[in-house]
Amino acid sequence: MIETGRLAQLRNLGDFLALPTDRQGVALIDTSPGAYRRWTFAELDCFSAKASLGLRAEGLVAPGDRVAILSENCAEYVALFSATMRSGAIAVPINHQLPIDQIARLVAEANIGLIGIGRNFDVAKIASSSPNLRIMHLHGDGEDSLNALVARAAFDGDRRPIKVASTDCACILYTSGSTGAPKGVMLTHGGQLWALARTSSYFPPSPGVMTVMAAPFYHMNGLFITMNCIANGIGVVLMPRFQGRTYLELVAAYRCALLTGIPAMFAMALRKGDLISKHGYSFVDSIILGSSPLSKRLADDISRAFPNARIRNSFGTTEAGAYVFGPHPDGLATPSLSLGYPAAGVEIELFDGLDAYTGTMRMRSPAVMAGYLNQPDDTNAKLRDGWYCTGDVMRRDNQGFYYHIGRSDDMFVCGGENICPGEVEKMLETHDNIIQAAVVPLHDAIKGQVPVAFIVCKAGTAPSEQDVKAFALENGPAFSHPRQVIQVEALPIASSFKYDRKALIERVESDIAVAD
């Protein structure tokens, strides 16, 4: 765990690279094709410090400037992210899977002056999106590359970052845009350092502990966990993009004791049953899941695949970070699938529910965003007096433990009854032959909207639509049973590695239009 005294001295989030005490331990292993490399904590810290010096010395950034990063996961991404903040500038990771016109819009909206670009991106199109945009290549040795900038830096060993205020913006992370255009979330140095210190207990350091990071760095999950691991001296094996088989192979090759990720990623990986049988994975002792709901079926499957691992079902948002729930103050064991008890320093309220124990969650903590970039109306709608309305529908039990029910923006009304897709999905996944389920609304002239279920079944099974409907009627409210059931080989995954509900809704509407 990060030493309190050393952390208390930090004022600049970019200095998280300076925290590990074992300077020669392995910080990152970059597995990018053709570019494999191990970085020690000392090498990564020095490279970032030189990059920060070069950015300032060559006039590429000034305090408050915004530097975008467009790349798959790589060591240089981490270095530039840190160097930008150390320079007093603001790091702006951008989803590299977006269409070029959307990337151009975000670059213009955020007033980006410099962008670091990884391999295999159309530099010409990106450059044309803004006439004053400067391009820096994260790889290679050309004059406009990060490597060349570092080589030119007249470095005297001074790693001290630019002084910033705790309320200064450190980075801007964009939301996934699942319910509208992506919004830039402004996160402060003080807020993220506060969260970093309090979540460090989830990442206890031990010599040689490794993890694999496949979640993309433009997503809060991947970026914050990587910062936390490095700050606590845990080595990170970087995957440029997620692939289930490769993920499991890397976990086995590096004997990774700590695993983190998004439930959908684990669901895809566990389909590689031959690797599960081959490697056993008894060496995995901790798994942290977050960013989307965890079903009992998936939790049970993960427990069987990683028999010695303690599974932590976590919760976080881009707007409020990853430090929200924790252990019960009275030492009570956290129930299965519960997110935990409100963490120390975090205030939580439920509103607009049927009773005091259910409702939409709002929260307040030092980690809550400063606001949405250039979006005052959206900021005012979501953020009031420091309270952030998450849009997540929660249930609280008598002991104070919280459970995720669904999203208020996913909820729809069927014949006057509120249907929360997450609850229907969890129920369907208790069916013996259903591995995954996703429920979306379909317009209905009488009911307003009715639920349609997409299901992924166990290999060799194909429960009929009537069987699934009957199961739903037996195990849940009649009004929430799916009126249509569509079996698919896999559920579509959005760039945030959550189920792509928008794509499923479009498919349903398209099928209906064709039928009409």
pLDDT interval class at 515 (50, 70, 90)? very low
pLDDT interval class at 1 (50, 70, 90)? very low
Q: How confident is the model over 182-205, as a mean pLDDT?
A: 88
DSSP string, 3-42: -HHHHHT---GGGGGG--S-TTSEEEEE--TT--EEEEHH
Q: Which domains does the chain have, with CATH numbers?
A: 4-241 (3.40.50.12780), 335-407 (2.30.38.10), 412-515 (3.30.300.30)
Q: How confident is the model over 287-307, as a mean pLDDT?
A: 85
pTM over 0.75: yes
The answer on pLDDT for 509 being more than 50 is yes
Q: Render pLDDT for 204-245 as a digit per residue (tens, 0 to 9).
A: 667 678 999 998 999 888 999 999 999 989 999 999 988 888
Can you tell me the distance from the alpha carbon of 258 to that of 233, in angstroms, rounded to the nearest whole number?
13
Q: Render pLDDT for 50-72 as a digit per residue (tens, 0 to 9).
A: 999 999 999 999 999 999 999 99
Q: Between these two residues, 208 and 94, which has the higher pLDDT value?
A: 94
Query: How many residues are recorded in the chain?
Result: 516
Pairing of strands 310-313, 325-326: unpaired
The answer on pLDDT for 85 being more than 90 is yes
Q: How confident is the model over 274-288, as a mean pLDDT?
A: 86
Q: How confident is the model over 384-393, as a mean pLDDT?
A: 92
Mean pLDDT of the chain: 88
Residue 346 has what pLDDT?
96
Can you tell me the distance from the alpha carbon of 327 to that of 465, in angstroms, rounded to the nearest whole number?
41
